[in-house]
């Protein structure tokens, strides 16, 4: 089965938007949208996200197996699959690479605390800036299934309802998810803005 045109176009548009913001340099990043209970549409591997076409979007199942064997998705597709399996409300997943998330995740421990930002309202359950979120930071690993097992263990250890819809991979990039692409874009932009503020504040405090 092919990817619906409106889904492919939403992913292409997301690539242009995030490229314009400098969040997906070179061929970095990957995006996906849930198609149904067992399938998702995801970007193919090795494409610059600012120049995607609908043909650069493919369908895989929740185990990451491609429907069109002529196309190949990133190995990190399995991280997208893990989010969709774990969070039934997730309808879109975005993975970006920025200077801020790369630098700060290298400096952080197991989490990065964000507090007092107006854009915290982009996260669920935070109606005002007077809030605090700890964004998990996990170690990078070329063994993606092992990384996903670590994420599952992390999520299992958090209280029900307290899991933020995103995390950072140390020295690598950010992941966010939301019910739809528009909301996922809002969350990624909000997260990256707050991370840029954190990086600038640390620079000025030297």
Burial of 79 (0-12, 13-18, 19+ CB in 10 A): buried
Q: How many domains, the chain?
A: 1
Residues 128-186 have pLDDT tens digits of 777 889 999 999 999 999 999 999 999 999 887 788 999 999 999 999 999 999 999 99
- CATH classification of the domain holding 126: 3.40.225.10
pLDDT at 1 over 70: no
Residue 130, pLDDT score: 79
Any idea which residue has 């950010």 for tokens? Answer: 174
Lowest-pLDDT range, 9-18, 27-36, 53-62, 120-129? 120-129
Question: What is the domain range of residue 33?
Answer: 5-204
Residue 16 CA to its chain's centroid (Å): 16
Torsion angle (degrees, nearest 10) of CA 60, 64, 70, 72 = 120
């Amino acid at each position: 089965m092919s990817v619906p045109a409106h889904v492919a176009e939403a992913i292409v548009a997301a690539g242009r938007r995030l490229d314009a913001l400098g969040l997906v340099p070179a061929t970095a990043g990957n995006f996906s949208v849930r198609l149904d209970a067992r399938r998702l549409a995801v970007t193919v591997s090795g494409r610059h996200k600012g120049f995607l076409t609908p043909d650069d979007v493919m369908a895989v199942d929740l185990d990451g197996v491609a429907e069109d064997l002529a196309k190949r998705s990133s190995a990190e597709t399995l991280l997208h699959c893990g989010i969709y399996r774990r969070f039934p409300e997730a309808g879109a997943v975005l993975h970006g690479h920025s200077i801020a998330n790369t630098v700060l995740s290298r400096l952080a421990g197991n989490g990065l605390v964000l507090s007092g930002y107006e854009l915290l309202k982009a996260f669920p359950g935070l109606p005002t800036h007077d809030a605090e979120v700890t964004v998990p930071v996990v170690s990078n690993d070329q063994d993606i299934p092992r990384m996903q097992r670590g994420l599952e263990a992390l999520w299992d250890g958090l209280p029900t309802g307290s899991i933020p819809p995103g995390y950072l991979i140390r020295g690598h990039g950010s992941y966010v998810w939301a019910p739809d692409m528009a909301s996922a874009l809002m969350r990624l932009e909000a997260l990256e803005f707050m991370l840029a503020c954190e990086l600038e504040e640390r620079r000025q405090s030297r």
